[in-house]
Amino acid sequence: MASPNQRRSRGSSRSSTSSYTVVYPNNSSSCSATPNTEEIDEGGSQWKPYLYHLQEQAPKPVRILCEPGEYIPDRPPHYGREFHGPISRDTADWFLTNKGEGSYLVRESLRAPGSYTLGMRCNFSTKNFRLFFDGKHYVADKRFDTLHDLVEDGLITMYVEANAADYINAMVAEPIYEKHSKFSLVRENEKNVSLERRDILGSLSETDSCSSKHSDGISEGDASMYEKQHNFKVNTFSGLNWCEYCGNFMWGLKNQGVKCSDCGFGTHKQCSKLMPKDCTPSMRLLKRIFSIDLTTLVKAQNTLTPVVVDRCVEELESRGLEVEGLYRVPGLQDDVDRVRERFDMDGSQAKISTKDFPDINAISGALKLYLRQLPIPLVPFDLFGAFMDAVQNQDDNMRIDALHEAIVRLHETKPAHFHTLKQVIAHLNRVTQFERYNKMSVENISIVFGPTIFRSPTPFGDLHMIEYEKRCIELLILHQSLLFDINHSYV
């Protein structure tokens, strides 16, 4: 069986074989380590080694064992010879003090039989923790497969935070994020690509006034300039990892920091609070299309509006505008699910042609399903009241003016939602122009899309809001060109 020190060595290098050299501030010495980044500057000088070396200096776990052959009654099966049975706190402290830094044992409480305490020696004092086991060992939020790993992580954490408290409090003051992080390269590349696209589109617009993708004036473009919060979640990083915001080592064996589930950015928990709204999601991490935040999806696809909306609208307008009951008649649920699965698996390459789905209602059903499954509705919860208040104005001019103001706020706060809503409403406007064939009047289409586009922020919205939602869709369709002109003023 490997010794604790051997196990610690293996646990500190559980990643790929590529390595780099940690550069000290004075270039006085260096050590080999394995980073978590795929791209780093030559020499790796952006990474700060101080906390890494403190972790290496932390006491190593040393079990205080019972004497061989010593019988300990009622020893729990998940503890070994480090379990000393019901002994007093003073006795445990005597064992730990004599054994020294890093030593640990488990004892049963004398005052509460069946309760167990982990005693550890760190920073020249004894620490006692209530110890639990539910298949994994834990004293707080972190859970470990072995007691040894729990102790090792605790020793590292206590040692580093005791010896570098001031440094840890100040480390966010000198971030490397803007200059050295691999994500700064991503942002710069996105900015350059976006500028190139704008130049191309600008030159096209000079020679072709119809260069826009849709007849409603939505231009081809991308979402690289949309703001998006990172979706940070507590994460256990394998191997050695440095914070990509401040450049400092993320200490510990488990839950060392947080990681954005949308773009993969890893950072200390305290550093994550300072991150700008510049998440650049990756489809590799998202893994699907439906039920994904709209802004997250368009940034990952680098499109102005979601590909699923673009493709469905294109298919519906090519062969569905004259189909009676379009959007009112549901498609077969199995077909709708197959459309969803194809988009989730193939994205923009999903096959949804007549050959694949002869019933156009499967496509219309998939579009409605996509909009209904958005985590944040097309009209976000925080603007729901503004739209509903606007439609309740008694004066026609004030009603349109208030609705326009709500749309401007949508453009300012959720531009991806604005552009998608604009595209959907323009599409519904075209559907109603074929009312003679499809029997879908403005009122009929509004009945269908009111609860699809709007969603009350309260679990059980007032029933009378359904009428306001319908009326709001009617106004958006009837006054589409004016309401979505954000530069227009009604004052």
- Residue 375: predicted pLDDT: 94
Q: pLDDT at position 465, please?
A: 85
Answer positive or negative: Cα dihedral of 171, 176, 181, 186.
positive
Give residue-wise pLDDT tens across range 233-250. 999 998 889 999 999 999
The residue type found at 254 is K
**Neighbouring C-beta atoms of residue 68, cutoff 10 Å:** 6
pLDDT of residue 174: 83
Whole-number pLDDT of residue 355: 95
Task: Please give the pLDDT value at position 182.
Answer: 52
Q: Largest alpha-carbon pair distance within the chain? A: 93
Residue with tokens 């009837």: 478
Q: What is the pLDDT of residues 418-439, one digit of tens each?
A: 999 999 999 999 999 999 999 9
Which of 437, 198, 188 is CA-nearest to residue 323?
437
Band (pLDDT 50/70/90 cuts) for residue 278 is confident
Who's near 448: CB < 8 A, 6+ residues apart?
327, 328, 368
Higher pLDDT, 174 or 32: 174
How far does Cα 370 stand from its chain's mean position? 19
The residue with greater pLDDT, 28 or 410, is: 410
| DSSP string for residues in 316-339 | HHHHTTTSTTTTTSPPPHHHHHHH
How high is the pLDDT of residue 183?
A: 53
pLDDT of residue 88: 94
Listed residue (319, 318, 308) closest to 349, CA to CA: 308
Per-residue pLDDT, 223: 65
Q: Report the range of poorest mean pLDDT among 19-28, 110-119, 471-480.
A: 19-28
Confidence band, pLDDT 50/70/90 cuts, at residue 220 = very low
> Does the structure show a pLDDT above 50 at 36?
no
Q: What is the pTM of this model?
A: 0.66
More confident residue, 193 or 456: 456
The whole-chain average pLDDT of the chain stands at 83
Strand partners, 116: 108, 131
Question: What pLDDT does 187 receive?
Answer: 52
Site of tokens 């003016």 = 401
- Phi/psi of residue 172, nearest 5 degrees: -75, -10
Helix (H) / strand (E) containing 129: strand 125-133
Q: What pLDDT is recorded for position 365?
A: 97
286: confidence class by pLDDT, cuts 50, 70, 90: confident
Residues 6+ apart with CB under 8 A from 425: 473, 476, 477, 480, 484
Token pair of 428 as six digits: 């519904």
Order the strands of the 232-235 sheet from edge to edge: 232-235, 257-260, 266-267
Predicted confidence (pLDDT) at residue 33 exceeds the cutoff of 50: no
Lowest average pLDDT, out of 116-125, 278-287, 333-342, goes to 278-287
CA–CA dist 80, 370 (Å, integer)? 54
On the question of pLDDT at 384 being above 80, the answer is yes
Question: Is residue 158 classed as helix, strand or coil in its secondary structure?
Answer: helix
pLDDT digits (tens, 9 = 90+) for 40-71: 343 445 788 999 999 999 999 999 999 887 88
How is residue 491 annotated by DSSP?
A: -
More confident site: 315 or 175: 315
* Residue range 125-133: mean pLDDT, rounded: 96
d(CA 58, CA 157): 9
What whole-number distance in Å separates Cα of residue 3 and Cα of residue 99? Answer: 17
Convert the pLDDT of each residue in 147-159 to its tens digit. 999 999 999 999 9
How far apart, in whole angstroms, are the C-alpha atoms of residue 11 and residue 151?
Answer: 14
* Statement: residue 213 has pLDDT above 70: no
For residue 266, give the DSSP letter. E
Candidate from 24-38, 48-62, 413-427, 453-467 with smallest mean pLDDT: 24-38
pLDDT at 12 over 60: no
Q: What whole-number distance in Å separates Cα of residue 49 and Cα of residue 481?
A: 58
Q: Is the pLDDT at 80 greater than 60, yes or no? A: yes
- Report which of 456, 450, 457, 452 is spatially closest to residue 476, judged by C-alpha positions: 450
pLDDT of 217 over the 60 cut: no
What does the pLDDT average to over 449-469?
84
- pLDDT-derived band at 287 (thresholds 50, 70, 90) equals confident
pLDDT digits (tens, 9 = 90+) for 308-317: 999 999 999 9
* pLDDT number for residue 67: 86
Q: What pLDDT does residue 23 have?
A: 31
Phi, psi of 127 (to 5 degrees): -115, 135
49 burial type by CB count under 10 A (0-12 exposed, 13-18 middle, 19+ buried): buried
Which residue has 């990756």 as its token pair?
A: 282
Cα 135 from Cα 351, distance rounded (Å): 46
